[in-house]
Amino acid sequence: MTTSDLKFFFTRFIIIFLIFMMMFFAIFYYDAKKELETSKSNIKAEQKALLEGKKDYIEAVIGAVVKETALLADLLRQQEVYQTESKPNLQSKRTTHNQVSKTLVSMSQRKEIYDQIRYLDLDGNEVVRVNFNNGQATVVPQAQLQNKAHRYYFKKAKQLDCNQVYVSPLDLNIEHGVIEMPHKPTIRMSAPVFDQHGNKRGIVIINYLASYLMDGLRLFNLNSGTNYMLVNQDGYYLFNELEPDSEFAFMFKDKLDLTVYSQFPSLAKQIQQTVSGQFETEDGIMTIESVGSINNQSPYCFRDYHLSNSDTTAWKIISYAEFAKRVDVKNPLSRHDTLMRIGVLLSLTLAYFMAKYQLRQHQDNQRIYDLAHYDFLTQLLNRGAFQTELESLIQSARKTQTSLCLIYIDLDDFKGINDEHGHAAGDKALIHVAQAMKNVFGEQITMGRLGGDEFAVILQDNANSEYAKHHASALLELVQRPTEVAQNVCLQINASIGGYLCSGDNCEQEELMHNADLAMYQAKKSGKNRVIITDSSAEV
Q: Catalytic site residues?
A: 453
Identify the bridge partners of residue 116 per DSSP, sorted by sequence position. Answer: 131, 207
Say how far apart CA 137 and CA 108 lie, in whole Å.
6
Strands 185-194 and 200-209: antiparallel
Q: Of all helices (H) and strands (E), which one includes residue 422? A: none
Helix, strand, coil percentages for the chain (3-state, nearest 5):
50, 25, 25
Q: Of all helices (H) and strands (E), which one includes residue 67? A: helix 3-78
Say how far apart CA 524 and CA 63 lie, in whole Å.
126
Strands (E) across 295-360 are located at: 306-308, 315-322
Say how far apart CA 156 and CA 205 lie, in whole Å.
11
Cis preceding linkage at 182, omega within 30: yes
How far apart, in Å, are the Cα atoms of 193 and each of 18, 159, 253, 361? 83, 12, 36, 102
Say how far apart CA 295 and CA 268 lie, in whole Å.
20
Residue 151: strand, helix, or coil: coil
Taking Cα atoms as reference points, which of 160, 195, 321, 170 lies closest to residue 247?
170
Residue 488: strand, helix, or coil: coil
Say how far apart CA 202 and CA 148 lie, in whole Å.
12
